[in-house]
Structure 1
Amino acid sequence: MHRLEGAVRSYAWGSRTAIASLCGRTVPSAHPEAELWLGAHPADPARVVESKDGAASLLDVLESDPSGQLGTDSIERFGPHLPFLLKLLAAEEPLSLQAHPSAAQAVEGFAREEAMGLPADSPVRNYRDPSHKPELVVALTRFEALAGFRDPRRTVELLEVLGVPELDPYVGLLAGQPDSGGLRALFTTWITLPPPALSALLPRVLDGCVTYLATDGRGPREFVAEVRTALQLADFYPGDAGVLASLLLNRITLEPGQGLYLDAGNLHAYLHGMGIEIMANSDNVLRGGLTPKHVDVPELLRVLDFRSPAVPILEPEPVTSHEWRYRTPAPEFALSRLEPGVGDTVALSPCGPQILLCTAGAVRLRCHGETLDLVPGESVWLSASDPEVVLEAQAPDSQVFRARLGDARGADGDGAHPVS
């Protein structure tokens, strides 16, 4: 059991208050803080505090003793690497419109770009590793997102109520083929519009959005959130075809404690809010707009899933009276939330490598005669060799997120249980 120091990632869309405030640091921070990485990704590994005088990269710790740190089961399934990456995420502004590849697509794409000789840090590289990237985000605050293509028939309704004559050909395209093929055709058309055509169409669409919001009480009001989002995105990314694409996606709001799981090919964009994010240990991103970064449209189209099933909001399932889990099909990770009452004592069974992150209150951990206190923003690394850990809440409303391996079928491993 060792304290873990996360790596803060500064991106323009991050918040100067959210992560700093949760961690008890001076607000505002000097730079936007978008993510706190807790894992062993080579781009920015967390550090394991081994003594008062020193800390070592978690990546180096794993490489020095893979069996003791990760355990036989993890190595057999995923190799000598931590298969998940845990993050604290704070979005003050919208992230890029993006999707992630499947496992097979990641392997092929990485090999292709390696053969091309693209440097690992090349700005035009799509595949920085050979792994897919299923991910789960759980809201700590109200969390806004776009995720997955909306049912085409509903999208036709949305585009029609905007009352924009210039949209008629596109509405007709989708109305004539209200399925994944029609969505692919419309998205491809919009994302590849020549600049003059985009400059002519987008302002008319935005005018239609403004008019729609101004007609309160004179028609259906089903699409207010979607229309407002398009206008907000246009403010952040003027002239970007991703603003049009946003009108094809489900607009989702998560309340604190709710989760959203995103599998390969799901086009999405986080818009605003703070959450816990866990994913397979990958940094592969195919972008489709709303960003100044590299956009590779042909490669994005190759990985996108244009089917439009409902994107369910995940409600946690109770494991015990103190633990709730977020069930996903991803075998690389499992995430649960612990909320013991003051004085409650909970035992965490050994089940391979784990990371615990405190997000509220205060807790004390006991393991093999040692104790460690966690307050919000602090985390701990538990190796596969660590025995049972006992967690005790030291303050009201304490909350800890627990990241560990999923099983071979994507279900969670052992849960926590009260200590008698």
Structure 2
Amino acid sequence: MDRLDNTVRPYAWGSTTAIPALLGTEPTGEPQAELWMGAHPGAPSRLDRGAGPVTLADVIDADPDGELGEAVTGRFGPRLPFLLKLLAADAPLSLQVHPDPAQAESGFADEERRGVPLDAPHRTYKDAHHKPELICALTPFEGLCGFRPAAEAAALLDGLGVDSLKPYADILRAATPASDALREVFTAVLTADPEAMAGTVRAAAEAAGRLAGEPGPHAAALAAYASLARHHPGDPGVIAAMLLHHVQLRPGEALHLGAGVPHAYLRGFGVEIMANSDNVLRCGLTPKHVDVPELLRVTRFEPTAPAVLRPEAVDGEETYETPAEEFRLSRFVRAEGEAPRRLPPGRPQIVLCTAGSALLTAGDGRELPLRPGESAFVPAGEEIQLSGPGTVFRATVAA
């Protein structure tokens, strides 16, 4: 087991205080959006086994079977298939979807054939992998996820009283099946004349802000849409977001994001785990490239209830079950004096402390204490004991 030295990513939407407060460090005044734990080539964690700091990616490259286990390398190749993060958002992230495995593989191969550079701003597929995700809230967390039923979306748009939204509401009420209606409106919003759409966004945002203060089933969602427009004035993604469910997570609840489901994180602090991929197709709320034809091919337009998860507890380990094979996230909330817990070997693990303290003990007696925000990598062949009063997240491979 090895303590990890992790990189903070300073994206503009990040909180200036949440990650420093957890780590017990002074804020820099700059956004600290994500703390990455894993072997992603963009910011691999570092560790020191006595010969100086090296990246976790280099450690795995030197002995994939020893670090990951033969079952993992046989299924996913010589790479850690997940990335664990602390994510701290003070402003909305882009509205986006992720491809399924077949779409990612074919999309990547197509862009490779056409010679699109990997770092080109118009490149859509960075690799050949899909990107399921899970976010677990450490604080109240707000996001958007999945299409509303068409009739519900029509009622929300109608309630704003904006003339230029009425044609979209009419389509949502009249077209069948609901997936066709959602596709037609989503496409129309993203391909509309930019100047005309900017006016619609302004009017819709003003109405949403005004109505958010009144009692009603959509008050919190309307406040969120008005906030989106303040951060992204005139962006068609604001109207596209109104077709989606507004989700509010309580601490300990999680949201699973599967392929083709449009989503955006809005605000909050949480632990995120995902398949180790960079494939994101953006719908809006971003200055980055929006590939509308590919986006429409990948997006699933069926109304989808948000996949809000509460952990399933077995013998003190609370697990967030998802269909993803690349990762499995669980949590231990341990009391003072609680007996040590064995963390079985066989697959690679990253252990993260988020409250209190934790102590990892190896079979040979080596000990590694963890404070909030600190993490450790445990190779597949190592069995450890977890003790100490605190909250600990365990990331490993499901399959």
Task: Give the TM-score normalised by the residue count of structure 1.
Answer: 0.92
Deviation string, structure 1 residues 59-78 (Cα, Å, up to 9, x no partner):
10000001100111001111
The equivalent residue for 2:368 is 372
Structure 1 residue ranges, 4+ long, deviating more than 6 angstroms after superposition: none
Across the two proteins, how many residue pairs are aligned to each other? 396
Contact 2:142 2:249 in 1 (8 A): yes
Which residue does 1:126 correspond to in 2? 124
Q: Which moved more, 1:293-302 or 1:234-243?
A: 293-302
* Amino acid in structure 2 at the alignment position of 1:163: G
Q: Deviations over 1:292-350 (max 9, x none)?
A: 11111111111111111211310000011x21000000011100001121122111111
TM alignment of 1:134-283, pairs within 5 A: 134-177=132-175, 179-213=178-212, 216=214, 221-283=216-278
Is 2:36 the counterpart of 1:37?
yes
Partners of 2:126 and 2:293 lie apart in 1 by 18
Q: Which residue of 1 aligns with 2:21?
A: 21
TM superposition shift of 1:31 = 2.2
Q: Distance in 2 between matches of 1:349 and 1:206?
A: 52
- Distance 1:210-1:136 versus aligned 2 partners, 3 A rule: closer
1:204 deviates by 2.5
Identity of aligned residues (%): 49
Q: Which amino acid aligns with 1:399?
A: T
Query: Structure 2 CA distance, aligned partners of 1:161 and 1:209?
Result: 9
Q: Residue in 2 aligned with 1:313?
A: 308
The answer to whether the aligner puts 1:385 opposite 2:384 as a matched pair is no
Number of the residue aligned with 2:48? 49
Supply the distance in 2 between the matched residues of 1:309 and 1:166 (Cα, whole angstroms).
Answer: 26
* Matched-pair contact (CA < 8 Å) for 1:91–1:271: yes
Question: Is residue 349 of structure 1 aligned with residue 344 of structure 2?
Answer: yes
Paired residues of 2:202 and 2:233 also in contact (CA < 8 A) = no
User: What is the alpha-carbon root mean square deviation over aligned residues?
Assistant: 1.3
Aligned partners of 2:334, 2:191: CA distance in 1, in Å? 52
- Which of 329, 336, 340 aligns to 2:334? It is 340
- The corresponding residue for 1:110 is 108
**2:347 is paired with a residue of what secondary structure?**
coil
Number of the residue aligned with 1:399 = 391
Letter in 1 for 2:37: L
The AA in structure 1 aligned to 2:40 is H
Take 1:355 and 1:196, find their aligned partners in 2: how far apart are those partners? 48
For normalisation by structure 2, the TM-score amounts to 0.96
Superposed counterparts of 1:53-132, under 5 Å:
54-132=52-130
User: Quick one: structure 1 residues 379 and 211, their matched pair in 2 at CA, closer, same or farther if it must change by over 3 Å?
Assistant: closer
Quote the offset at 1:213 in angstroms: 3.5
Deviation at 1:202, TM superposition (A): 2.1
Post-superposition Cα deviations, 1:33-52, rounded to whole Å, max 9, x if no partner, equal: 1111111111111112223x
Determine if contact 2:136/2:272 at 8 Å carries over to the other structure. Answer: yes
Which runs of 5 or more structure 1 residues have no equivalent in the other structure? Answer: 408-420
The Cα of 1:237 is off from its aligned counterpart by: 0.4
Moved more, 326-335 or 152-161: 152-161
CA drift at 1:290: 0.5
Q: Is the CA contact 2:143–2:246 (under 8 Å) kept in the aligned structure 1?
A: yes
| Aligned equivalent of 2:6 | 6
Contact 2:145–2:247 (Cα < 8 Å) also in 1: yes
3-state SS, counterpart of residue 154 of structure 2: helix
- For the 8 Å contact 1:5–1:49, the answer to whether it is kept is no
Q: Is the 2:351–2:377 contact (alpha carbons within 8 Å) kept by the matching residues of 1? A: yes
